[in-house]
Chain A
Amino acid sequence: MVTTIARKDLQLLFRDGRLPWAGGVVLVLLATALLVGWERRAEISTERAAAQLLDYDDWVAQPERHPHNAAHQGMHVFKPDPALSVLDPGIDPYVGSTIWLRAHLQSELTFMPAQDATGLQRFGELSPAWVLQILGPLLVIVLGFDAFSSERELGTLRQTLSLGITSRQLFLGKALGQAMAVGVLLGPAAVIAALATFAGSGAAIGDIAARLGWLFLGYSLYVAAAVFIVLAVSAIVRSSRLALVALLGIWIATTLLAPRAASDLSRVWYPSPTRLAFNAALGADMGHVAEEVWQENFGLSTQWSPELPLDKWGLALQVDDHAGYGVMDRHFAELWDTFAAQQRAQEWLGLVAPVLAVRAFSMGVAATDFSHYRDFSLAAERHRRVLQDVVSADLVKNADPRGTGHFDYRAGTDLWQHVPPFQYTPPSVAWAVGHTMRSFGVLLATLLASLAAALFAVSARRAA
């Protein structure tokens, strides 16, 4: 019986043109988004991989020069583009992808793509994730807002129930019908998206498949929750018109208003510093620590004062660098922890606005969320320190004994080769999924709550 109801609903949706039309628009957008993402990744990933290789080759092949000069030129590292960025670019438009590893200071990711875009960027980034997260629930609303109410208006609900069908059976049939309608549209789209993700990606097939599986699960929970909410409203509200208005209101409030309000709230709860305040605090702490270590090691109160003999410059560089590491670690960790806390708060707000939870989950699994950027930034900084340490150790050993000839000293390929190439292994699926468990839990809770609401609504409201 349940499947009969589902089949009937599906047929109706086909006949009144809603499924072909509304679904068609969503599919066209999905296809466009996929194509755009695929093109972008194809271009970016080969370019970055090539640039990374070239960068190291150039480092090793550089002519003989003073190691500190070489460290000033430094190296560039490029964040590899994850395979699933085709589906969900996550925070990509708002963070850079390149880090210039140079002497003295921890560098940050530069070249934010949003800086190379116009104000239209702020309307959203066309990606399959955006289409599913924002337009997905709308599609469900368009398909299902009158699932119960129209039957009530036409009087067929009374007839159906008089046949001995329980309201729960009816609900299951309706839910299945909606799921089939969405499935007919998104099923093939998911297969094409999966193929597009595999094609042209150098990552391991197992890794991609696992991520795709999780992503599929996450979006299924999201869409299912939307279906239950739509059915609940359709069952409880008097007319189809009211149901539609109520559902559109909920959709606008939860997908468009809530994310903005939530980010405001999270900033109130966990304020992040301005660039000015951050740099000032970092600079002040660096200064204090430097003062201490310079006093302790060289008996000097100012850095690089004329009283520091040239045969101590290499050592001073090493001491100075090492003193800064802890300070930078502390300041950046504090900043990034604030970002993480802001996101965490917003994921919990996903209980009210599920789009926040699915967004966090989706970009986490796609490896385009902040935790992945943080991991990359840390790896890059570790590499910068390796470079610094190799250079400083060499200066202590070879330049310092030369006294006044300090900057005359030149090192060659032997030293350059001591710095290993930057090899970054992005976190595994297990790591990514582990980091998204909170948002997954929130999604699951939303699903259960919406299911309960739907069941309650269906049993509370009979055919009247």
Chain B
Amino acid sequence: MNEETKSAFYEQPHPYISLFIKMLTISAFTFGGGFVIISMMRRTFAQKLKWLEDQEVLDMTAIAQSAPGALGVNSAIIFGYQIAGLPGVAVSLTATVIPPLVILSVLAFFYQQFISDPIAQIVMQVLRAGVAAVIVDVVIDLASNVIKSKDILNLVLMITAFLALVVFKVSSLLIILAALVIGILPIGRKES
């Protein structure tokens, strides 16, 4: 962990309470699965609070994606760990699990009304536009970092992986494995 970003967390007046509240709000307002949660965490923890660096966010996303289980849960675990060690994991995991636990245990009994409610359906449809904007915003930042790095192999990897995912529907796990292999092989290795 970078010393500068580490101290940014502990300099907070109540670091753990603040981590708890951030994670709770992200989990409570994030619709549509893991990558939205990761995009929110990146904007909150890297861009605004500077508790983490962009590179760390990418590394942790890769780890969260490589392990089994819900992406939102995995990223809560690893973001918590990277920000504040094991206490951070306990805090961020609890905060992530509480909103769905409360909402779903109530909805389990009323879900028929909820699913068929016309307003709920409109809200769900229009929410997606905002969710897409959140992800696209993050992608613009991250992709322009890759382009600016002027590392041709990385640029090729990014474009190939995107095409493989979108056009050929290759599974994301396979793509991560392929990148691991390319990383291990002595291709394009910079001597430094």
Q: Do A and B bind each other?
A: no
| Interface residue ranges, A against B (CB under 8 Å) | none
| Interface residue ranges, B against A (CB under 8 Å) | none
